[in-house]
Structure 1
Amino acid sequence: MVQPAGRVRRPLGALTRGTTAPNRLRRVDRWTAASYASLLRAAADPLVVDLGYGASPVTTLELAHRLRAVRPDVEVVGVEIDPSRVAAAAPYASPGVSFRLGGFELPLDGRSPVLVRALNVLRQYPEAEALAHWRTLCARLAPGGRLVEGTCDELGRRASWVALGPEGPRTLTLAARLAGLDRPGSLAERLPKALIHRNVGGEPVHDLLTAFDAAWDAAAPYAAYGARQRWARAAATLHERGWPVLDRPARWRLGELTVAWSAVAPREG
């Protein structure tokens, strides 16, 4: 079902470009389903929001499909600020999948989502405004809920995202299709808005990417066994050197690395 446009007044936010494509968000969906399976299974109300799904509802439909492998009765609501995009999505609504006109205020009739995915939404905002939208979205989460916010390239081959709880940011994940990746530092251009302008000397995220590149160079001999083994060895090196790497080899071999937010949080001033 689609919520009538007249029921939502002045959605909070600005229109995005709306570009999307099938499977563009497969990496973040895969990570979300694995990382928050227990959260979804335990939820009394398994409500999930896909915020800013764009000109096509395909990524909302894919998110519902992927999360149903974890929680078959999950409900996914696609929220868009453009009425024409909501109207275009209407024919794709089905039991458990709906589309609504709205923005960061999340028009959910008083319900609180256990998960919100917001990919390629905040990149267009100034950093301070993006952080304010973080706070708005986190305040609307169910207890223990999570916001997953980040960005990716047009084909979804390079991405990064921050996972946040009601208390604020918790983790940063870097993810890539490893075939053709020259080095981990190339993911800098896909950092979330809160970090993309912080990739300069003296900032923790710059230190992380520099250390990851050094570990990648040191792992060059593992390239003989494939890019996955080289990435995994570089991730292991970071862990051994004291970086708060939160995932393990099974995730590394998928081209992922997740670290505690405390390791990359921007410096004040």
Structure 2
Amino acid sequence: MAARTTPHHRPIGSVTRGTTNPNRLRRMDRWIADAHGAALRASADPVAVDLGYGAAPWTAVELLGRLRTVCPAAEVVGVEIEPARVEAARPYEREGLTFRHGGFEVPLAAGRRPALIRAANVLRQYDEEQVAGVWARLCARLAPDGLLVEGTCDEIGRRHVWVALGPEGPRTVTFATRLGSLDTPSDLAERLPKALIHRNVPGEPVHAFLRDFDRAWAAAAPYASLSARQRWIRAVGSLQADWPLVDGGRRWRQGEVTVRWEALAPRG
């Protein structure tokens, strides 16, 4: 079967390395299901796009399973710019799961606008100056109540940082980790998304946040005797006085913390 491409259509974007592993995006998926589940259930067309899923379709398959725990009507469309990867994914298609050839133009069927676009480990190869344009293009494709989640994680999903955006633009930044793998919160700096990774320098808000997080982590060291989770919860809780956190203990227990975008947005 030929790749499903609109006639005279050239996908927008560049081919990624395609690295993928089962369960790599589990932290992001679980956060999406929790934060966006109600909006998906309320959507008349709860279609999600796994943009740039890579050389194997595992992340798209897993996204469908996790979204359907909160929205049984959810559908997932895996979109890849490399035609051979689309063909390799075809045997995994089933009810609610399809694969299409495309890029940042997000080629869904006429009239459909995604309730969710997930773009994980896609923008790392781009220049920082290109990020705002890509975000704007993807946000323009969203349904009115849609969500774009763009970020980066390590190869097995232990450390992950992502930005959540609505049609109006960026809203929040989430830091998520397997707590047993963490020495200090600033270890997550290497997984900052492209919009922030070069801003982890003195004078930039994201650098100040990670500095304060490390200090809070050090102050919470006595709680390590209870567990790494209790130390994380204590450290995150102490950040609330100076940083606009938007989640609470239920998400902190998962090794997460979410901050308003405007608090961490690059200067200049």
Structure 1 length as normaliser, TM-score?
Answer: 0.97
Instruction: For 1:54 and 1:235, locate their aligned partners in 2 and report how far apart those are by CA, in whole Å.
Output: 33
Deviation for aligned residue 1:2? 7.6
Alignment correspondent of 2:61: 61
When residues 245 and 8 of structure 1 are mapped into structure 2, their CA distance, relative to the original with a 3 A threshold, is: farther
**Does the residue aligned with 1:142 lie in a helix, a strand or coil?**
coil
Alignment correspondent of 2:165: 164
Paired amino acid for 1:17 = R
CA contact (8 A) 2:158 2:181 kept: no
**Does the residue aligned with 2:48 lie in a helix, a strand or coil?**
strand
**Does the residue aligned with 1:116 lie in a helix, a strand or coil?**
strand
Alignment correspondent of 2:194: 193
Deviation for aligned residue 1:7? 3.9
Instruction: For 1:207 and 1:232, locate their aligned partners in 2 and report how far apart those are by CA, in whole Å.
Output: 19
Identity %: 63
Instruction: For 1:63 and 1:89, locate their aligned partners in 2 and report how far apart those are by CA, in whole Å.
Output: 14
Alignment correspondent of 2:102: 102
Deviation for aligned residue 1:4? 2.7
Instruction: For 1:205 and 1:51, locate their aligned partners in 2 and report how far apart those are by CA, in whole Å.
Output: 26
CA contact (8 A) 1:175 1:255 kept: yes
When residues 8 and 30 of structure 1 are mapped into structure 2, their CA distance, relative to the original with a 3 A threshold, is: farther
When residues 244 and 98 of structure 1 are mapped into structure 2, their CA distance, relative to the original with a 3 A threshold, is: same
Instruction: For 1:33 and 1:7, locate their aligned partners in 2 and report how far apart those are by CA, in whole Å.
Output: 34
CA contact (8 A) 2:77 2:99 kept: yes
Query: Which runs of 5 or more residues in structure 1 are unaligned?
Result: none
Deviations, residues 138-180 of structure 1 (Å, cap 9, x unaligned)? 0000002110000000010000000001111000000000003
Instruction: For 2:158 and 2:57, locate their aligned partners in 1 and report how far apart those are by CA, in whole Å.
Output: 20
Alignment correspondent of 2:266: 266
Alignment correspondent of 2:214: 213
CA contact (8 A) 1:52 1:119 kept: yes
Matched, 1:152 2:153: yes
Deviation for aligned residue 1:5? 4.2
Aligned CA RMSD, in angstroms, stands at 1.2
CA contact (8 A) 1:2 1:86 kept: no
Deviation for aligned residue 1:8? 6.4
Instruction: For 2:176 and 2:2, locate their aligned partners in 1 and report how far apart those are by CA, in whole Å.
Output: 33
Instruction: For 2:152 and 2:20, locate their aligned partners in 1 and report how far apart those are by CA, in whole Å.
Output: 12
When residues 3 and 39 of structure 1 are mapped into structure 2, their CA distance, relative to the original with a 3 A threshold, is: farther
Instruction: For 2:4 and 2:121, locate their aligned partners in 1 and report how far apart those are by CA, in whole Å.
Output: 25
Deviation for aligned residue 1:214? 0.4
Paired amino acid for 2:44 = A
Paired amino acid for 2:264 = V
Alignment correspondent of 1:204: 205
When residues 8 and 92 of structure 1 are mapped into structure 2, their CA distance, relative to the original with a 3 A threshold, is: farther
Alignment correspondent of 2:244: 244
Instruction: For 1:235 and 1:87, locate their aligned partners in 2 and report how far apart those are by CA, in whole Å.
Output: 44
Matched, 1:122 2:129: no
Instruction: For 1:8 and 1:216, locate their aligned partners in 2 and report how far apart those are by CA, in whole Å.
Output: 54
Instruction: For 2:41 and 2:6, locate their aligned partners in 1 and report how far apart those are by CA, in whole Å.
Output: 34
When residues 242 and 88 of structure 1 are mapped into structure 2, their CA distance, relative to the original with a 3 A threshold, is: same
When residues 40 and 6 of structure 1 are mapped into structure 2, their CA distance, relative to the original with a 3 A threshold, is: closer
Alignment correspondent of 2:42: 42
Alignment correspondent of 1:12: 12
Deviation for aligned residue 1:9? 2.0
**Does the residue aligned with 2:267 lie in a helix, a strand or coil?**
coil
Instruction: For 2:197 and 2:5, locate their aligned partners in 1 and report how far apart those are by CA, in whole Å.
Output: 35
Instruction: For 2:2 and 2:128, locate their aligned partners in 1 and report how far apart those are by CA, in whole Å.
Output: 32
Deviations, residues 102-127 of structure 1 (Å, cap 9, x unaligned)? 00000012310010000000111001
Alignment correspondent of 1:137: 138
Deviation for aligned residue 1:3? 4.9
Paired amino acid for 1:164 = L
Instruction: For 1:200 and 1:262, locate their aligned partners in 2 and report how far apart those are by CA, in whole Å.
Output: 17
Instruction: For 1:99 and 1:196, locate their aligned partners in 2 and report how far apart those are by CA, in whole Å.
Output: 31
| Paired residues, number | 267
When residues 18 and 8 of structure 1 are mapped into structure 2, their CA distance, relative to the original with a 3 A threshold, is: farther
Instruction: For 1:174 and 1:8, locate their aligned partners in 2 and report how far apart those are by CA, in whole Å.
Output: 40
Paired amino acid for 1:115 = L
Alignment correspondent of 1:183: 184
